[in-house]
Amino acid sequence: MKPDHYDPIAAGLKEDIGKGDITTEFFVPDTLHTTGRIVAREKAILAGTGAAAEVFRQVDPSTDIQIVRRDGEEVVAADVIIELRGLARSILTAERVALNFLQRLCGIATITRQFVDAVGNQSAKILDTRKTTPGLRALEKAAVVAGGGANHRFGLYDMVLVKDNHLATFGGLSRFADRIRQIRQDRPDIRIEVEADDLEQARAFVEIDGIDVILLDNMTSAQIREAVALRRNNIQFEASGGITLKNVKRIAATGVDYISIGGLTNDARAIDIGLEMTHVPG
């Protein structure tokens, strides 16, 4: 299990620097001060500016770091994101790890914003999943929020989500309903979601008290619409599986409350962002 004190930035620096930045030590004077700018090279939604800044801070706390553009903002090519002033050695040593975080997280925020925009005026919220990079979940889920999406459960410990493999171990719907009641009694604060693979399961789950959300997995728009029409009490519906930018608006129009998309983190492309050294005194 990941310890509570786990620091992905420290881990990334340890992985990259190891026993020292040999190239910088041999080619860059140890007293040389410089200024630099982290610059976007394409249109994107920002995320991870704080993580990038923390990379430079951990390498050298004396580096002056100014975040010019904030998470959630849209940038275009040549926009300055972060300005840096300090020792050239420190800035160069931190460069790659800082850019790795920033490029990855901006990619997640950017694809999330594309899905949010594609939904248009429909009320469905775009959710992430647990399909994240091990050790980077908090940063990647924050990037989803920066892009205008919302977070699903963070881990196995903060929500019940009964999927098909869980159901395969259970013997009958009556026992399942009893277990839902037990969870609701023992953990009244816990959100309970169950996955339905077909309309028959959705109809059965709607009749069970205590379920908060029914996840409609890999269903067509017509099937989702039919399932949503079964709504009773305050139950909510989530669509997942096979969601793309081409069909997400159609899925949202069915009346579902949530659309969860693993591709927000799985399919995100790193955004082109670079560091430009703008002044090195002679």
Q: Are residues 77 and 135 in the same domain?
A: no
Dist. CA 83–CA 65, nearest whole Å = 6
Dist. CA 123–CA 128, nearest whole Å = 16
Q: Which residue in the list 2, 14, 43, 163 is annotated as catalytic? A: 163
Q: What is the mean pLDDT of residues 43-65?
A: 98
pLDDT of residue 2: 47
Q: Are residues 136 and 261 in the same domain?
A: yes
- Name the band, by pLDDT with cuts 50, 70 and 90, for residue 278: confident
Q: What is the mean pLDDT of residues 14-31?
A: 96
The model carries a pTM of 0.94
Dist. CA 16–CA 21, nearest whole Å = 9
Q: Which residue in the list 41, 69, 85, 96 is annotated as catalytic? A: 96
Q: Which two tokens stand for residue 111?
A: 């694809």
Q: Look up 73 and say whether it is catalytic.
A: no
Q: Are residues 128 and 206 in the same domain?
A: yes
List the CATH number of the domain containing 174: 3.20.20.70
* CA dihedral sign of residues 26, 30, 32, 33: positive
- Name the band, by pLDDT with cuts 50, 70 and 90, for residue 173: confident
CA angle, residues 17, 40, 281, in degrees to nearest 5: 65
Q: Which residue in the list 71, 140, 217, 238 is annotated as catalytic? A: 217
Helix 88-119 to helix 8-17 angle (10° resolution) is: 130
Q: Is residue 109 part of a domain?
A: yes
Q: Are residues 133 and 82 in the same domain?
A: no
Q: Is residue 1 part of a domain?
A: no
Let me know: does 141 contact 128? Beta carbons within 8 Å. yes
Q: Which domain holds residue 94?
A: 8-115+268-279
Q: Which residue in the list 54, 140, 195, 257 is annotated as catalytic? A: 195
Q: Which residue in the list 41, 69, 131, 191 is annotated as catalytic? A: 131
Q: Are residues 51 and 98 in the same domain?
A: yes
33-40 vs 273-279, strand pairing mode: antiparallel
Dist. CA 181–CA 158, nearest whole Å = 18
The domain tally of the chain equals 2
Q: Look up 96 and say whether it is catalytic.
A: yes
Q: Look up 195 and say whether it is catalytic.
A: yes
